[in-house]
Structure 1
Amino acid sequence: MLVLVGLVLCLASVDALTAFPPKFLVGKLNGDVVVKCNTSEQRVTWTQNGDPEPMAELVAKGQTLTILGLDLPATGNYSCWAGTVLLDTTYVVVSGPCEKGMNVSCQAESYRGSFHCSWTGPRSSIFRARLTRSDGSLGEWVPAAGHRGRFSASFADPSFCPFAEELRPLQLHLEGLSDTSYLNFSIRFFVRDIVRPDPPQELTVQRLGEQLHLAWAPPASWPLPKSYFALLYRLQYELPNGTQVDKYVEGTEETWMQERAQRVRISCQDPYANPAWSPWSPWQDVSAAQQSQLRAR
């Protein structure tokens, strides 16, 4: 799993936005900001958050409005009007000096070019993310789901080839917005560095005397052919005294054990890229395995 730590701007807000506004403008704290009205009208009036008396020092000239000394009370939705006709709106936010750490974690279940990212952020904010793909093309903005300061989004790179060597990293660009503030953050990574397979499936255990025969299948999400996308398996079994022992198997999906195991489980890993191990499969109770005569293989 890829974990990156960055510095981002604090987002102060009273009420969270629900979606990114069509137009927004980011200004420096205590700096001047020029808002432009997209219209051919020469005489317009302005409102801030619907109020005709904005909480800011303003200089209006034709189709432009200059906010002098931008601060948090001066942020919000600035609208220009021709009488009662709405002409244009721009959401103004501030990039303040307050900094806070943000953790970004991305994980892929295989080499299919799709992955999932999550990160932390202020609860009062909304996020969106965009992927610069391996061929250099730019993806669409993806709205992030958020809950109690934890945000996530899923992505896919249709140009990704699982059989080719990765020569260029992907770039993920995050944007966050509250009622008053904005953040902007990017990370770069290779898919090979974030692959964490799903658990192996269909683990079966058969007992014959003092021997155990274990068989399993690779994760359903793992690409084929097996000869190219090999997996290293890690079997863990528990002895009657509670001791847990690991056994590693590569190049096959079955093995024999003579130990008096009580239960077993299995995990897997790409042995060449050396990413994270998969989650464990559920424990398989050996005592429930029926004794049977195995066919000759």
Structure 2
Amino acid sequence: MLVLVGLVLCLSPADALTAFPPKFQVGKLNGDIVVKCNTSEQQVTWTQNGEPEPMAELIAEGQTLTILGLDLPATGNYSCWAGTVLLDTTYVVVSSARKEGMNVSCQAESYRGSFHCSWTCPHSTVFRARLTRSDGSLGEWVPAASHRGQFSASFTDPSFCPFAEELRPLQLQLEGLSTTSYLNVSIHFFVRDIVRPNPPQELTVQRRGEQLHLAWAPPASWPLPKSYFALLYRLQYELLNGTQVDKYVEGAEETRLQERVRRVRISCQDPYANPAWSPWSVWQDVDAAQQHRLRAR
């Protein structure tokens, strides 16, 4: 089930970046910020976005550059030079103070420690995300895929144990960067709260005498053994008159119906954790010849 996990900051409109710069620095709006040139050279010159006359009030002292009263025009790429030789580059941005609702949702297909998160942001931004795993270790930064303000990333926690009780939540850290602004937000959740199984598979329908026999299998992504990772199944079948009926089955992967049925489909959920039902399977039509015999009765 998709989970709304909070309000975070979205960034100011700007031209899009394509990736996080190797080195960036975040300052407060209208505050001062000191940029250092990573070099042994004692005398350097500075440019902002390639221009030798930056749009900011600056104090240059040897290998350091102090930007006074950082504002949006003063953000950008600051490079230090020794003559015509580029020594170092730092991307300077403002910590965003603009609050908007950004719906971040995470979903797992099972208890295997893998999950997928997605979120929206209405401005030109690049995102990356990092997972603090269940054993407390930090994962690598993962670049987020994006399409028209929709962002997503997938993660795997190799230390996650599906048989153990979750004692502390996972932490997902998001960083967003535009050409002027930056955000950093952390999201906490338990895997048990975001599990939504895939639909059951291999649904079959057979006529056995006066009864209709239905059988199915758990989702391929659902962990084993079945005795430990139980599922509750929800069958929905449509009668010949168009009426839809629900039937619930737990602890079995087959059932029988005596009604005159046109078609059936099935969904499932973990009955002991989050009550998120899987998507429905596709409708399974009862054999047309069988329907003809049922109508003739």
1:1-297 aligned within 5 A: 1=1, 2-13=3-14, 15-288=15-288
| Contact map agreement 2:10 2:121 (CA 8 A) in 1 | no
Q: How much does 1:12 deviate?
A: 2.1
Aligned counterparts of 1:154 and 1:290: Cα–Cα separation in 2 = 45
Gap change, CA 1:274 and 1:100, over 3 Å in 2: closer
State the AA in 1 paired with 2:8: L
Q: In the TM superposition, what is the alpha-carbon distance from 1:194 to its structure 2 partner? A: 0.5
Q: Relative to structure 1, is the Cα distance of residues 63 and 197 closer, same or farther in structure 2, using a 3 angstrom cutoff?
A: same
Query: Residue 127 of structure 1 aligns to a residue in which SS?
Result: strand
1:146 partner letter? S
Shift in Å, 1:289: 7.4
Contact 2:234 2:266 in 1 (8 A): yes
Residues matched between the structures, number: 290
Deviation track 1:82-132 (CA, whole Å, cap 9, x = no partner) reads 111111110001124321111110000000000000011134101000000
Do 1:115 and 1:155's aligned partners in 2 also have CA atoms closer than 8 Å? Answer: yes
In 2, the alpha carbon distance for the partners of 1:151 and 1:11 equals 17
Q: Which amino acid aligns with 2:278?
A: S
2:4 aligned counterpart, secondary structure: strand
Structure 1: runs of 5+ lacking an equivalent? 292-297
Name 2:294's counterpart in structure 1: none
Say which SS state the counterpart of residue 4 (structure 1) adopts. coil
- TM-score when scaled to structure 1? 0.95
Asked if the contact 1:10/1:100 (under 8 Å) is kept, the reply is no
Q: Cα deviation per residue 1:10-47 (whole Å; 9 max; x = unaligned)?
A: 3320x211110011111111111111111111100000
- The question of whether the paired residues in 2 share the 8 Å contact of 1:11 and 1:180 is answered with yes
Structure 2 spans left out of the alignment, 5+ residues: 292-297
Instruction: Say which SS state the counterpart of residue 130 (structure 2) adopts.
Output: strand
Q: Deviations over 1:156-185 (max 9, x none)?
A: 000001111111110000000011111111
Contact 2:216 2:253 (C-alpha < 8 Å) held by counterparts: yes
The answer (yes or no) to whether the contact 1:72–1:94 under 8 Å persists in 2 is: yes
Tell me which moved more, 115-124 or 43-52: 115-124
- Write the distance in 2 (CA, Å) between the matches of 1:55 and 1:252: 70
Say which SS state the counterpart of residue 86 (structure 1) adopts: strand
Distance 1:275 1:42 in 2: 64
Q: Distance in 1 between matches of 2:96 and 2:68?
A: 16
| Matched-pair identity in % | 85
| Contact 1:207/1:289 (<8 A) preserved | no
CA contact (8 A) 1:112 1:162 kept: yes
1:233 offset after TM fit, Å? 0.3
Q: Structure 1: which amino acid aligns with 2:32?
A: D
Alpha carbons of structure 1 residues 289 and 159: separation in structure 2 relative to 1, 3 Å: farther
Distance 1:202 1:96 in 2: 50
Cα distance in 1 between the residues matched to 2:26 and 2:289: 64
